[in-house]
Chains A and B, each alone.
Chain A
Amino acid sequence: MTALTDLTIAGMKAGLAARDFSAVELTDAHLAAMEAARGLNAFIVETPDIARAQAAAADAALARGDARPLAGIPLGIKDLFCTEGVQTTAGSKILQGFIPQYESTVSGKLLADGAVMLGKLNMDEFAMGSSNETSAYGRVISPWKAGDSNRELVPGGSSGGSASAVAARIAAGATGTDTGGSIRQPAAFVGISGIKPTYGRCSRWGVVAFASSLDQAGPMARSVADCALMLTSMCGYDAKDSTSLNVPVPDFAAGLTGDMRGRRIGIPREYRLDGMDPTIIALWEQGIAWMKDAGAEIVEVSLPHTKYALPAYYIIAPAEASSNLARYDGVRYGLRVTPPGGNLADMYSATRAAGFGTEVKRRIMIGTYVLSAGFYDAYYTQAQKVRTLIARDFERAWEQCDLLLTPTAPSAAFAFGDKADPLEMYLNDVFTVPSSLAGLPAMSVPAGLSADGLPLGLQIIGRPLDEAGVLDAGLAIERAAGFTARPGR
């Protein structure tokens, strides 16, 4: 029999329903895996007692016959989601010891649907990073290794703990958040699936804010169907989030067909970059071929403002972050550092100097700069205008096609320290940022391996609210790719 931790969520549901194993057994298997894989540093906080209690409750519900859709499914929760009574740090020292007195809407919906929380997943500090090197709680390590090399690889970021835990079979699935690619890029790096829904589908209430106009929660799991299951639970209108969309949420899992016949797949010409890794190009072409085979029509489209997406993003996201992170001042929660004899202003500076890591400080500085007197219009206003143009590019593309197919990242996972220059790191988000700026649903699906055996992902981008279409295309790729590779540890 397959190890319990190798099952997909769909498989676990079937096994639980058939009484092949209990939710407590399933959870215990994952807790054991979590313990065995502590070297990955995927969790900041492990919550075995909570997990077992929830699993027992799930068993009771299963026995009564009133189990919710995710009853007994062991999940990891990214540490950006506030969890009532369980430390939430957003990967930052400034929130060390912070115990929320509330549960985020999204994690609350998953728990209400019967999910089991294994613990809080490590991440780049305040979700700022693409490699998980910025966490104050130590970097997360990818369970993958390149070829014969022994170098430790990044799991991607910022949802690196989520990616690593799911890929290493510690969690059946995990929540992620995506501001400029933080679900999709790590999913691609570790060979799992992840979807960022349309902006406004998942409530941001109780999710520690990075960049409010971009942040979206989404699921990460080992199959497209599992993502669909989790997404159905996570989405929904929330009156507590003014940017939440008041639209019905379909049952994404039930509607999943993978049928591509009659769908038009756009291939954006501007995503073919100068000097692009040939392996990535080959993978992309393979994806196009699979789509054709599945009955889709391939259309070349143009998204002319693509090259400006990254610079626009690196104005808007830091600007919003500089303001969102002003609340971490040592007054009401979290770290406080008061220099001897210091006044309030001294306390602010010392607290924030000690509490924030280098990358977070850098982005706060950029954000503060671009919003400061005399620069606001040239930077922020211009970036928001460019954002309008980027969204317009997509709207024009939708006149010609239903979905877009692109690579998820320009390379496979890299080793720690390989991208020491912040700018080089930022460029890693080149394919994921444009759809974030336009608020579009987008997912990454594992599609192949690099020459040295590392996972590579393809990205599907859809129209606003067309998560179902994105998931169908994801399923088509999943079926065609037959991705079965798994990490060594």
Chain B
Amino acid sequence: MSVDEPTVRKIARLARIGIADDDVAPLAGELSAILGWIEQLGEVDTAGVAPMTAVIPNHLAWRVDQVTDGDVQAKVLANAPDATSGFFAVPKVIE
């Protein structure tokens, strides 16, 4: 699979990673090489094979519905780049 430059830009936008214009072409080349190599997976006959869901057979345990956590506002905000009046502050969101 050859990844073109518009695709690189689209993927970068989806991943919210700003990329410099100069980096787009080299990245397109690298991703193309890696994805080209990955494509050999297509050779494998997987008809009737279920995708793996649990690496080691295990059963999902359920929690009892009790309040056991929270009420730790100071811890939640301790590392915030910008916290005001108990909120996280971010540049204005426009809907």
Is chain B found bound to chain A in the same assembly? yes
Q: A: which residues have CB within 8 A of B?
A: 97-99, 101-102, 198-200, 213-214, 239, 242-243, 245-246, 305, 307-308, 311-312, 314-315, 322, 326, 329-336, 338, 342-350, 352-353, 356, 361-362, 364-366, 368-370, 372, 378-379, 381-389, 391, 422-423, 426, 437-439, 464-465
A314 touches B17 (CB 8 A): no
Q: Is B91 an interface residue (CB 8 A)?
A: yes
Shortest CB distance A2–B (Å): 40
| Cα(A374)–Cα(B14), bound, Å | 15
Contact A332 B80 (CB under 8 A): yes
- What would 25 A/B residue contacts be, using CB atoms closer than 8 Å? A97-B79, A102-B75, A214-B55, A243-B58, A245-B56, A245-B58, A308-B40, A312-B41, A314-B34, A330-B81, A332-B79, A333-B81, A343-B91, A347-B90, A350-B18, A353-B17, A361-B19, A365-B27, A369-B11, A384-B51, A388-B50, A422-B34, A426-B34, A439-B56, A464-B56
Given A99-B78, A343-B92, decide whether A322 and B15 contact each other with a Cβ distance below 8 A: yes
Beyond A336-B81, A362-B30, A386-B44, is A368–B15 a contact (Cβ under 8 Å)? yes
Contacts of B19 in A (CB 8 A): 353, 361
Q: Does B67 contact A (CB under 8 A)?
A: no
Contact of A315 with B88 in the complex, beta carbons under 8 Å: no
- Enumerate chain A residues within 8 angstroms of B46, measured Cβ to Cβ: 382, 385-386, 389
Q: How far is the CB of B19 from chain A (nearest CB, A)?
A: 7
Name the CB-closest residue of B to A313. B38
- Pairwise interchain contact B91-A200, C-beta atoms closer than 8 A: no
Closest Cβ of chain A to B69, distance in Å, is 10
With A98-B79, A330-B81 known as contacts, the answer to whether A365 contacts B40 (CB < 8 A) is no
B37 & A423 in contact (Cβ 8 Å cutoff): yes
Contact with A along B29-71 (1 / 0, CB 8 A): 0110111011111111010011110111010110100000000
- Interface size on B, as a range, is 35 or more
Q: Which residues on the A side are within 8 Å of B93 (C-beta)? A: 343-344
Bound Cα distance from A218 to B75, whole angstroms: 28
List chain B residues, Cβ under 8 A from A368. Answer: 11, 14-15
List residues of chain B with CB within 8 A of the CB of A350: 18
The answer to whether B38 and A364 have CB atoms under 8 Å apart is: no
Asked whether B56 lies within 8 Å of A365 as measured between CB atoms, the reply is: no
Q: Which residues does chain A contribute within 8 Å of B13, judged by CB atoms? A: 349
Residues of A near B50 (CB, < 8 A) are 385, 388
Q: Give the nearest-CB partner of B89 in chain A.
A: A331
A-binding residues in B (CB < 8 A): 3, 7-8, 11-19, 27, 30-31, 33-35, 37-44, 46, 49-52, 54-56, 58, 60-61, 63, 72, 75-76, 78-82, 88, 90-94
Give complex CA distance A354, B25 in Å.
Answer: 19
Complex Cα gap A464–B56 (Å): 7
Residues of A with C-beta under 8 A to B52: 213, 384-385, 387-388, 391
Question: Smallest Cβ distance from B9 to chain A, in angstroms?
Answer: 11
The 8 Å CB contact of A352, one of B16, B31, B61, B80, is B16
| Closest-CB distance, B22 to chain A (whole angstroms) | 13
Within the complex, the shortest CB–CB distance from B70 to chain A, in Å, comes to 13
Residue in chain B with minimal CB distance to A314: B38
Residues of B within 8 A of A385 (CB): 44, 46, 49-52
A-chain residues with CB within 8 Å of residue B34 when the two chains form the complex: 314, 362, 366, 422-423, 426
CA distance A342 to B55 in the complex (A): 43
